[in-house]
Amino acid sequence: MNIFASYLPVFLLVLLRTGTAIAFLPFFSSTLFPLRIRIVFAVVLALVLTPVVNFPMPSRPEIAGVIIREVIFGMAIGFCFRLVFFAVEMAAQIMSVSMGLSMATILNPELGQATELTTLYSMLAMLFFLSVNGHYELIYAFVRSFEWAPPGNVSISRLAPAVLGMAGKMFVISFKLAAPIIIAGLAVNLLLGFMQKAAPQMNIFFVAYPLYMIVGFVLLILGLPVFMNVIGSYFDGARSDVFRIISLAKG
């Protein structure tokens, strides 16, 4: 019981950081993932990390401030890994609009009103994340975070500019991924404009949407290997962003 009592405060602080980060992670933050399983996963991960990490316990007067800083720090770590998935979902939504698929929306519990293309790309990104052992990188980042920025020694003043910078990066990634479909849609619109001028009696509306979808699906199929390579490079960047956030939080 004495050993358990000595580990309990450490376990609670580890659980606070890991649980907050897991709430922002892709797949785990989905409403399709049962809440009880999410809680069990966070508790098991904290139990595994508790004997591994080693940090001095903060004093009792500092507990309230430590809890607030730990929650913000855990949110920042989770956002680093969630960033690429946000960008993929946004890019898929933009591509759906360019291809004329935005009218066929479905209710996705994770994304709200989303198209099938958004759901497909989100699943591809998640499978790729697991295939490159991104979950192992996540656990490694947690261990390093407790070594470099232990509870009670976390500075959050420098986290806000870094997180805002990553949020801006999310828009850049999404438009880069959607750029081929956007450019192809612009080219199709120009072609249809010339056709409308050459044959005003032609009903362009019935020609445009099938053409948008055909060109869009051809580009999606041809660009899938490129998409995977680009996503892989951004996952590597996300790992660097996590360690940069940890280093900035080091008090």
Residue-by-residue DSSP string for 147-205 = HHS-TT-B--TTHHHHHHHHHHHHHHHHHHHHHHHHHHHHHHHHHHHHHHHH-TTS-HH
- As averages over each run of 10 residues, the pLDDT of the chain (251 residues) reads 66 84 71 73 84 74 80 84 84 82 58 69 83 80 81 79 80 86 86 78 73 85 84 79 82 60
Please state, in angstroms and rounded to a whole number, the distance separating the CA atoms of residues 40 and 53: 20
Query: How high is the pLDDT of residue 51?
Result: 79
- In this prediction, residue 112 carries a pLDDT of 53
Per-residue pLDDT, 33: 66
Q: Where are the beta strands (DSSP E) in 50-149?
A: 105-108, 112-115
Q: Counting beta carbons within 10 angstroms of the beta carbon of residue 55, is it exposed (0 to 12), middle (13 to 18) or buried (19 or more)?
A: middle
3-state SS class at 55 = coil
Q: How confident is the model at residue 103, as a pLDDT?
A: 64
Look up the domain containing 94 and give its range: 2-248
Residue pLDDT, tens place only, 187-244: 888 888 887 777 777 777 777 777 888 888 888 888 888 888 888 888 777 778 888 8
Nearest 5°: phi and psi at 203? Answer: -85, 95
Q: How many domains does the chain have?
A: 1
